[in-house]
Chains A and B, each alone.
Chain A
Amino acid sequence: MSNYQLSLIMLACISIITVCGVFAITSLAGMFSLGQASYMAISAYLTFCIARYQNLPVWVTSIIGLAGCALVAFVIGMPTLRLRRDYLALMTIGFGQMVQSIIILLDKYTNAAIGFSKIPKVNNLVYIILAITVLIVFMVRNLKYSRFGRMCIALKNDDIAARSFGIDVHGLRVKIYVIASLIAGVGGICYGLRNRVISPDAFDWSLSAEMQILLFFGGTNSLTGSVISAACLKVLPEFLKGVKLFGIDLQNCKTIIYCLLIIVVINLRTKGLLGERELSLSFLRGLFAGKPRDREGGEST
């Protein structure tokens, strides 16, 4: 495969990783965060700066980066996860701005807005990223079908009822927030390894918003849906290169196409492409056998 194709695969994988993190926090625990990109930034900067200035291998420093990421998520999450959903979203935007400013302030180490480019080259990166992606999707899937997944759905539904069954609502929210931030951190490190340069404006809140959009596009409660939409939508603009329609280069209007697609899907299927259903073998079999599948829970509300 050409380098270009490999880099597209990595792009899709990183998108999948970050959307998995957002899936845990938004689809499972019902918290709307617009600051997940800042956790990508925290772990990426920690990892690569320490690797550079302490001359340590990246795999060692990535552990430090992720630990730092988890610590920040815990400290931020403890007080703020008691907030209502909309306030939490505002707070996370503010947090994202703060992280960006700190990176710029520390320009002695981070090279500020010009970007930090002293990132070591890793061989066979595409396989590593693919393996990490598979592992993360597997772990988030298991999370969904565990007692934690059930408790999350319960607290998202009705936190008073959840408490009356002994569910430690706040503690669970903090746990999920830390997990989601760790996953974002993994995504951030992969991003850095792929691009070989990281800059603060690559991790601004529009990236966090994009993750949310990808999630909702694929299906608000569907992990497979989100994974598919994360991969496809992220790579879609690249396929428009060189395609002409009525003499117009589609590459130039990729933003329009992208947004139109999203508007159409969100309007026609308010719960995203797959809604709450998961794409599984039995589901596909039912689809192709033409059996009318029970649509329980799919389009309700």
Chain B
Amino acid sequence: MSGPILKTEHLHKNFGGVIAVQDFSFEIREGEILAIIGPNGAGKTTIFNLISKIYQPDKGTIEFDGTDITGKTQIETARMGVSRTFQNTRLFTGLSVLDNVKVALDFAGKYTLLEAMLLLPRRFRTEKETTARAMACLKLLELDRYAEARPENLPYGIQRRVEIARALVSDPKVLMLDEPAAGLNPEEVFQLVDFIRAIKTKYPKLAILVIEHRMDLVMNLSDYIYVQDFGETIAKGKPDEIRNNPLVLKAYLGEEE
């Protein structure tokens, strides 16, 4: 098996006096689903923001596909193939679902501003390709019937899936899902689990990194779990090992009376 697709070593981030992430090391391979769990304020989202370069780490390195990306900007990291969703869906209002997915391909569009304004042939060709690719992705994820809808008018569960589709359309190597189940009702959570499983079969090489604090979802889904508490990794292992880990139970459920 090849080396890890994404790897961090001794990642560290402070906000003023607050230690958000302390000495976080992990690695994920192609085709793996890895979960980072922990109570609120455990620094999970900060880890995502460090990997996607919304924040720069104070210490530590991030390696993607064998190259060091610690010093890269958010835009460069995204273009290399590290894709993510956000805790509160950040779909672009004012664009249809299809356009929301297309916009994820647009940075690499093959026509210039002038060609766009004068409606030259390359614009039509590229637009056709982009639309086809976005529609193919929506079809694959069974979202194509919402293509023309405005995302703000869709149920929250669908919005989540559209957001995941938007993150997937550019064929990233790593997909990071930031609390995909937040704000969903139990039924929608079930659908989401199926949805993520479906993604795994349809994109077999994709590495998926999930942040979640709902144990049930994580246990069903992931191959490997990291447990964070107050910025530190308190446990890591396969779902079964985590389930019975006393430290995890303590952090998660509080002291047993």
Contacts and interface: CB of A to CB of B under 8 A. Distances in A.
Interface in B105-136: 106-109, 111, 113, 116-119, 123, 126-127, 130
Contacts, number: 109
B186 interface: no
B152 A297 contact: yes
B79 to A, nearest CB: 4
Contacts of B94: 153, 156-157, 221, 276, 297
B102 interface: yes
Interface string A136-177: 001110110011111101101110111111111100000100
A179 interface: yes
B152 A166 contact: no
A158 B92 contact: yes
A301 B93 CA distance: 10
Interface in A243-301: 276, 296-297, 300-301
Given A157-B92, A297-B150, A142 B119 contact: yes
B95 interface: yes
B113 A148 contact: yes
By size class, the interface of chain A is: 20 to 34
B86 interface: yes
A153 B116 contact: no
Interface string A77-92: 0000000000000000
A149 B106 CA distance: 10
A164 B84 contact: yes
Contacts of A301: 93
Contacts of B127: 146-147
A157 B86 CA distance: 14
Contact of B106 (A147, A161, A164, A221): A147
A147 B75 contact: no
A83 to B, nearest CB: 19
B149 interface: yes
B169 to A, nearest CB: 9
B247 interface: no
Given A160-B54, A297-B94, A148 B150 contact: no
Q: Which of A165, A179, A276, A297 has the most CB of B within 10 A?
A: A165
A148 B107 CA distance: 9
Contact of A167 (B84, B106, B130, B149): B106
A276 B150 CA distance: 12
Contact of A142 (B93, B102, B118, B166): B118
B84 A300 contact: no
Contact of A154 (B92, B108, B119): B92
B153 interface: yes
A150 B78 contact: no
Nearest to B115: A146
Contact of B78 (A158, A163, A296): A163
A296 B149 CA distance: 8
Interface of B: 52, 54, 74-75, 78-79, 83-84, 86, 90, 92-95, 99, 102-104, 106-109, 111, 113, 116-119, 123, 126-127, 130, 149-150, 152-153, 166, 170
22 contacts: A142-B123, A146-B116, A147-B116, A148-B113, A149-B116, A150-B102, A150-B103, A151-B106, A153-B99, A154-B103, A156-B94, A160-B74, A161-B86, A163-B78, A164-B74, A165-B106, A165-B166, A166-B79, A166-B104, A167-B103, A179-B117, A297-B93
Sort A-B residue pairs by CB-CB distance and give the 6 closest, nearest first: A146-B116, A166-B107, A147-B106, A139-B117, A147-B109, A161-B90
